[in-house]
Amino acid sequence: MTVPRKVAGFHLPPLPTVGEIIKLFRLKAQKQLSQNFLLDLRLTDKIVRQAGELKNAHVCEVGPGPGGITRSILSAGVEQLLLIEKDARFIPGLQMLSEAAPGKVRIVHGDILTYKMEKAFPKHLKKNWEDEPPDIHIIGNLPFSVSTPLIIKWLENVSKKDGPFIYGRTQMTLTFQKEVAERLTANPGGKQRSRLSVMAQHLCTVENRFVIPGQAFVPKPEVDVAVVHFTPLAQPKIQQPFALVEKVVRSVFQFRRKYCFRGIETLFPESGRLKRTEQLMMTANVDPTLRPFQLSMSHFRNLCDTYRKMCDEDPSLFVYNYREELRQKKMGRNLLKSTGQPDEIEEEDQL
């Protein structure tokens, strides 16, 4: 039994339920794509409400699947809805929704990781970065396998003000595994504080809005799911290039349970490593005995600013790769072994 849904002055005509669409087109979640369907329209409505006022807005939904969240977005009275779906099996069901909302829906069969979003929306929606966010939203129940690489890609877009952020500070409302959501929003000192926490929070206001129990999905995942809202900041907390910040933060968290100087050492070649590490930490005013998860955003800002100055003085520093140096040393030790000479195994080789 279907019932028309009336919200914000627009209502969809009677349609098969999401469950009926799944049966009609013989859709089945593919485990290798980490697909999980959300059939309860009360929950999809709640997800969409986290995006804010959507009446007359332009929205991009990532991975709409059988269209549960799609219905809630349309019922919110949006002006235009762009659907980007990689799995061709879902396209016929989405076309049915498109026909039920004439002129409102555009369907793209493609991969969000490679889709060029610079031309996804009308040019007149663009706003200056310092202004209020544009009337553009990205919403998606992301497959677990895609969520982390996708948010890292979009954070880099935020830093460079390109991709979907060429229009201004486009807001995002996305689902993640609960554990990933906790890492995205973790505060300094928290057990979930990680590289992802720093990379997200230095560029965006990140809010964990609510948790959806795993049993609400079909098939039921082994973990709960959280809805996270992102609003890009007018000014990033660390005003350095994304690649530099990412390199410093990644290095710091490389040895999460050790003192932070242990990870910072990996920014520098073995020759002069200790001296340069001391120089960086003293100039940045960072206690070398703090653990990585204890460092505040101001600590990371000071580290990145100081490392940038050191790279400006010696450009070879930024291209230095600690793991490549380890690889070369390992090859050298293998040669020593082949000649019967003794070998010393370093702690780093356990990575």
Structure confidence by residue, pLDDT tens digits, 242-257: 999 999 999 999 999 9
Helix axes 68-75, 41-49, angle to 10 degrees: 60
Q: Is the pLDDT of residue 36 over 70?
A: yes
Q: What's the pLDDT at 7?
A: 42
DSSP summary character for residue 348: G
CA distance readout (Å), 105 to 51, 70, 111, 213: 18, 10, 18, 30
Residue 156 is assigned to a ligand binding site: no
Helix axes 297-313, 242-252, angle to 10 degrees: 110
Q: What's the pLDDT at 47?
A: 98
Nearest one of 67, 22, 21, 72 to 43, comparing CA atoms: 72
Q: Is the pLDDT of residue 163 over 70?
A: yes
CA dist., res. 50 & res. 19, Å (int): 24
Q: Is the pLDDT of residue 180 over 90?
A: yes
Phi, psi for 229 (deg, rounded to 5): -110, 130
**Tens digit of pLDDT for each residue in 45-89?**
999 999 999 999 999 999 998 999 999 999 999 999 999 999 999
* Mean pLDDT in residue range 84-100: 93
Q: What's the pLDDT at 308?
A: 98
Max avg pLDDT among 18-22, 199-203, 213-217: 199-203
Q: What's the pLDDT at 325?
A: 85
Residue 190 is assigned to a ligand binding site: no
* Mean pLDDT in residue range 186-191: 96
Residue 141 is assigned to a ligand binding site: yes
Percent of the chain with pLDDT over 90: 75
DSSP 3-state of 189: coil
pLDDT band at 348 (very low <50, low <70, confident <90, very high): very low
Residue 295 is assigned to a ligand binding site: no
Q: Is the pLDDT of residue 2 over 70?
A: no
Nearest one of 168, 167, 235, 248 to 203, comparing CA atoms: 235
Question: What are the strands, taking DSSP E only, across the chain?
Answer: 5-7, 10-12, 37-38, 58-62, 80-85, 105-109, 136-140, 171-177, 204-212, 217-218, 225-232
Q: Is the pLDDT of residue 6 over 60?
A: no
Residue 111 is assigned to a ligand binding site: yes
Nearest one of 125, 230, 137 to 167, comparing CA atoms: 125
Q: What's the pLDDT at 27?
A: 61
pLDDT band at 347 (very low <50, low <70, confident <90, very high): very low
Q: Is the pLDDT of residue 28 over 70?
A: no
Q: Is the pLDDT of residue 259 over 90?
A: yes
Q: Is the pLDDT of residue 178 over 80?
A: yes
- Amino acid sitting at position 340: G
- Residue 164, preceding peptide bond in cis (omega within 30° of 0): no
CA dist., res. 122 & res. 101, Å (int): 19
Residue 334 is assigned to a ligand binding site: no
Q: Determine which of 139-143, 243-247, 278-282 has the lowest per-residue pLDDT on average.
A: 139-143
CA distance readout (Å), 93 to 108, 158, 259, 287: 13, 32, 53, 57
* Mean pLDDT in residue range 336-351: 50
Q: What's the pLDDT at 221?
A: 84
**What pTM, to 2 d.p., does this model score?**
0.88
Average pLDDT, the chain: 89
Helix axes 178-185, 144-160, angle to 10 degrees: 20
